[in-house]
Structure formats: C-alpha cells, structure tokens
Amino acid sequence: MIRTIRARAVLALVLLAAAGGCASGQAPKADNGDQLSFGVEMARRGLWAEALFRFEKVRATAPNDVRALNNLAVSYEAVGRFEDALATYRAAVAASPDNRPLKQNYSRFLEFYQAFKPKKAAAPAAAPAAEPPPPDPAPPPAPAGGGA
C-alpha cells in the first residue's frame, strides 16, 4: 500500500515537473527553481523529509507557486499527512483552477482519500464481536539506581 502511494506520488511529481513553468503568474525567485529541482530529485530518491523541506521553503517565499504547492501536496500524501495534502491541493487549485496536471493529481488524491477516510473512521465499529489483538508488550523497566 505504501509503495503504491509512493509510486503514485513520484509519478505525480514527474508529471508536474514535465509540465514545467509556474502557472501562478508570478516569476519565482531564481533560488526557488533550484529548491524545486532539488526537492523533485529528493522525492525521486524517496527522501520525502528533504523534499518537504525544499517545497515548504519555496512556499514560504512564493505562496502561490503552483508547482511548489502541487509538489508539496504530493509529498504530504507520500508521508501520510493526508489532511495537509488536502489543504495544500485545495490552495493549489484555487491559485490555478485550469492547471490540468494539478487537477489530475487532486482528483487522484480525492479518490484515494475518500476511500481511506471512511475506513479509518469505520474500523472500530466494523467488527464488534471480534476480540482486539493483544497489546504490544511494554519495554523492560529501566534498571534501578539511575546510573548513566
């Protein structure tokens, strides 16, 4: 499941990188292009924390940069921060409602998210007769004396 999400996320990043350009109407700072490129490379390598850092850095200086918003949303999705992904996709679509690759990513995410969210909420009530699995064992207690 995680590999599928990551594969889709990387594909979405590649699609957006191939689309190129900033559809926000703002000329991004020169450094933003470098940050975006590096973030995309980190995402391709599966280094999502670094990719998130780069995309968030661009968003801080260019909040309506659609490429950064889309890539940031994909990265949030890849690390399981689905609420952040939803909010970021919505911001990106608001900034560029006619951006086709963005709308495709957002649509794909919504399809996943709608299937994911009900399962998460309905899971406890789905099988009331089944016993829950036993809890994980607690870690062994620290030795007395507190020597470090």
Nearest to 59 by CA among 48, 68, 67, 50: 68
Ordered domains of the chain (ranges, CATH): 2-119 (1.25.40.10)
User: Block means of pLDDT (10 residues each) for the chain, length 148 residues?
Assistant: 54 44 47 93 95 96 94 95 95 95 94 76 51 53 56
| pLDDT score recorded for residue 124 | 53
Q: Which residue intervals of the chain are DSSP H helices?
A: 2-19, 30-44, 48-61, 66-78, 82-95, 100-126
| pLDDT score recorded for residue 75 | 96
Q: How far apart are CA 118 and CA 139, in angstroms?
A: 33
| pLDDT score recorded for residue 70 | 95
| pLDDT score recorded for residue 79 | 95
| pLDDT score recorded for residue 4 | 57
Q: How far apart are CA 102 and CA 108, in angstroms?
A: 10
| pLDDT score recorded for residue 117 | 75
Q: 76, 53 in Cβ contact below 8 A?
A: no
